[in-house]
Each structure stands twice: as C-alpha cells, then as structure tokens.
Amino acid sequence: MTDEKAAPPVVAFYLPQFHPVPDNDAWWGQGFTEWRKVVKGQPLFEGHYQPHMPADLGFYDLRLPEVRWAQAALAREYGIAAFCYYHYWFKGRRILERPFNEVLKSGEPDFPFCLCWANENWTTRWDAGNQHILLAQEYDEADDRDHVRYLIEAFADPRYLRINGRPLLCIYRIQGHPAPQRTLDMWRKEVVAAGLPEPFIVKFDTHGNWEDPARYGCDAAAEFLPHGVWELVPPSPRVTCAPGNQVRDYRDVASYFSTRTQPEWTRYPCVAPGWDNTSRVGDGRAGVFDGTDPDVYETWLRVVRQRVAAQPDEGVVFVNAWNEWAEGAHLEPDERFGRRFLEATGRAVHGSRRPTPLAPPLTTEPTSMGELYTALYERSIRLERAYSEYIARAESELARARSEHSAALHECRDEASRLADYVSDLEAKLRTARVP
C-alpha cells in the first residue's frame, strides 16, 4: 500500500457508558457502570480468559476530560483514525450523552470522530429484544426531523470524519425503522439545507439482515461482528461448556471474514480483537471468540484494509471495539495482552512509521496544579485497581471459607451422629446388663 492518502481509515467503535447516570442508578443500583459486571466475569471452560481487567487506563470515569484525552492519544499513536461514538436517541431523550457532548462543546480532544445511531430497545437482558424493556425505540416523522437537526451540530464539527467528502453516519439497525427511505431522504435534505454535504450513511449488517443497503436508502453496508459469526462460522471443536453458550475459534472467525465473498454493493469490513460477553450476560447465553491472538488480528486487519484500499472510492475499516469491556472486545490495554492489540493495529496501519503524538489539551490551570491533579488521578486509578483486586481476593477467600466451614460443619454433624449412635448403643447395653 504505497499511497497513504488513499489508505482507508481504521475507525473503532466507542462505548460512552463508563460513567454513572440516573437511569442506570434506577435500573441496576447506585453508581452502576459496566465495570461492575466486568470484574465479576468467570471462566466457562478450561483456558477461558475471564475476567478482562484493564491495565494502562484503569477503571476510568468518562466524565474526566483527562481520560478522554488519554484514550485519544493512545488511539492516534497506534493507528486508529477516529472513534465512532454510539449515539442513543429515544424520541428526543438522550442517554449516556455526556462524554460526547463534552467532546463536541470543548473541542477536546482534537481527534476525529463520527456517530453510530444505536437504534434498538434497551432491556434488562441486554439483548435488544421486545420483552423486559427499559427504553423502547420508537419512531415518527416529527421526531426524525428533530433528530437530524441535532445531528447537524455534530456533522458541522471540523473533526467529524468524512468519506468521499461527506459526513459518515452509521446506523446500527436501519431495518427496524418503519420508513427508512423517507427518513433518510428527509435527513439529507435537512443537512444540505444547513450548508453541509449530504451524509454518507452506512447500514450495519445486524440481526440476520445482510440485504442491499440501497433498499433502505443507505450508501453502503458494513459488517458488525459478532453479527453473522454464529451463523457462518462453525463451533469450536476444542471447547466443551454449558448449553446455550456459543464458542468460535478466533482463527476461524478471522479466516472466514478476511476472505469472505463480497456482494454487488459496497460492504466495508469489521475486525475484532475479540468477543466475549460472558460478564454481561452470564453462563448459558454467552458468545465467545476463543483463542484471541494479536498476530492473527494484525493479519486480518492488514488483509481487509488492503482490500478496501483497492476499491475505486474511499472506504473505511471498522474495529469492534475500542472499549467494549463487558463484551471482551477492546483495543485498550488489559492485564493479559497489555498493548499488543494496539501494537498490532499500528503495524498494520503504519508499518515502522509512527504518527505525530496527540498534543496535550490546553489548560488554564497553573502547571503545578495540573501536575498535582495528574498525580492524584493516577493514584486514584491505582487505588481503584487495588480495591477491585482486593474485593476479588476477598470474595475468593470468603467463598473458600464458606466451603471449609460447610465441610467442617458436615464433618461435625457426622461425628455427632456417630457419637449419638454410640451413646444409644452403650445405654442399651447398660440396661441389658442391669436386668437380673
């Protein structure tokens, strides 16, 4: 790949979930974020990697601008061109919006981004189904118009990622919209009326729908792993676990999706450093890519990126994900692999060349205060990690103590029963001995 200008950007999905919000407090308990689920992940079979524990960035809080800057600095250093923030809209109601709102209003970090409208129900089962609904995804024409007028503010930002000169908008489940053609036509007209180019709209292939995106009014399609994996890749023969879990060998997934036959329309690839939603959904419903490997990931990313670069028009390669910790899909460093998936991304994108580091954010605070804050923040990360490790050890010790107590209690009861039988037998013998 000699023409770097033609090289497709690698865009990582970004979950803006890791900060408390009132809705999650009400549904899951005070202060809930998915870190609470992440640390409780348990292996389902021999060699299963759980839990996934964060390394360099720790158990962060996305309300902190320093966290968002550190994420962007890591992403740029290792070849990620932009974050694709999940965007939630429920008839004008926003949720988990604070991190992106602050990125948009502050201008920091100076790192490209785009949006993915994650248009599906929120449920207590984390399955986007039609039962146990917490927030329902509903549609009407007036709300669609309000929605695009919100999106225009983001499209106008100079950091917003463009494909073929047009703002890139991804839609997770366009097939769920009752009038997609009408809505997207109206959106394009509204965006042009605001003085911007028409958005370049990508339909994600999700929930068994791999149809031509033009049917829905979209410009292109894109894979969205793990959608399609469970149907197209056979189960791993090496793994035995409880019924209901889905396990695929990571090499098989990478091999299939790096050589997959392309349709007549444009479909962009999606690669994944892993997938394992055990900590989110539990045993019996988990989907797992077993044997994740940075070298396999690097080859997969390199192959599909070269394929997109060979297309006549600009394209994009998606990575699922930057920080889906409860789904085992994260480029952010963890305690097992460190930065190896980031380093693999950098080699696939840059080779031996490294980009210019991201400039630190501007601050009006005195340098000494900034240094003090940084030191305190780093200490808080270490303390939170130590706290999580302590809780994990305490829970393990408590479980061991309960097991030992149960065994000792059972042994005492057995001994008491034996003594009672002995005493009873002895009393019977004594009564017999007293008979004249």
Q: Mark which of 304, 335, 360 sits at the end of a domain.
A: 360
Say if 435 falls within a structural domain. Answer: yes
Q: What is the 3-state secondary structure (H, E, C) of 192-204?
A: HHCCCCCCEEEEE
Q: Mark which of 303, 338, 360 sits at the end of a domain.
A: 360
Q: Mark which of 343, 360, 377 sits at the end of a domain.
A: 360
Say if 371 falls within a structural domain. Answer: yes
Strand partners, 2: none
Residues 332 and 379 in one domain: no
Give φ, ψ of 344 to 5 degrees.
Answer: -65, -40
Residues 242 and 259 in one domain: yes
Q: What is the pLDDT along the chain (436 residues), one digit of tens a residue?
A: 444 445 899 999 999 999 999 999 999 999 999 999 999 999 999 999 999 999 999 999 999 999 999 999 999 999 999 999 999 999 999 999 999 999 999 999 999 999 999 999 988 887 778 888 999 999 999 999 999 999 999 999 999 999 999 999 999 999 999 999 999 999 999 999 999 999 999 999 999 999 999 999 999 999 999 999 999 999 998 898 999 999 999 999 999 999 999 999 999 999 999 999 999 999 999 999 999 999 999 999 999 999 999 998 999 999 999 999 999 999 999 999 999 999 999 999 998 555 555 555 544 444 556 666 666 666 666 566 555 655 655 565 666 667 677 777 878 888 888 888 888 888 788 877 776 5
Task: Supply the DSSP symbol for 10.
Answer: E
Residue 264: count other Cβ atoms within 10 Å of its Cβ. Answer: 6
Domain count, the chain: 2
pTM of the entire predicted model: 0.81
Q: What is the 3-state secondary structure (H, E, C) of 105-153?
A: HHCCCCCCEEEEECCCCEECCCCCCCCCEEECCCCCHHHHHHHHHHHHH
Say if 132 falls within a structural domain. Answer: yes
C-alpha 119/C-alpha 128 separation (Å) is 9
Alpha helices in 310-364 (DSSP H): 340-350
Q: Is residue 219 within 8 Å of 202, Cβ to Cβ?
A: yes
The crossing angle, in degrees rounded to 10, of helices 180-193 and 141-155 is 40
Query: For residue 265, with 0-12 CB atoms within 10 Å meaning exposed, 13-18 middle and 19 or more buried, which class applies?
Result: middle
Residue 125, pLDDT score: 82
Give the C-alpha distances (Å, rounded to integers) separating 178 from 216, 242, 402: 10, 38, 54
Residue 422, pLDDT score: 83
Structural domain span for residue 132: 7-360
Say if 1 falls within a structural domain. Answer: no
Say if 155 falls within a structural domain. Answer: yes
Query: At residue 369, what is the residue type?
Result: M
Residues 198 and 305 in one domain: yes
Query: For residue 408, with 0-12 CB atoms within 10 Å meaning exposed, 13-18 middle and 19 or more buried, which class applies?
Result: exposed
Residue 3, pLDDT score: 45
CATH of the domain at 277: 3.20.20.80
Residues 108 and 135 in one domain: yes
Query: At residue 360, what is the residue type?
Result: P
Give φ, ψ of 379 to 5 degrees.
Answer: -65, -40
Residue 367, pLDDT score: 54
Say if 58 falls within a structural domain. Answer: yes
Residues 218 and 287 in one domain: yes
Residues 48 and 197 in one domain: yes
> Concatenated DSSP letters for 155-201?
HTSTTB-EETTEEEEEETTGGGSSSHHHHHHHHHHHHHHTTSPPPEE
Tokens 């479909």 identify what position? 267
Residue 357 three-state SS? coil
Residues 255 and 197 in one domain: yes
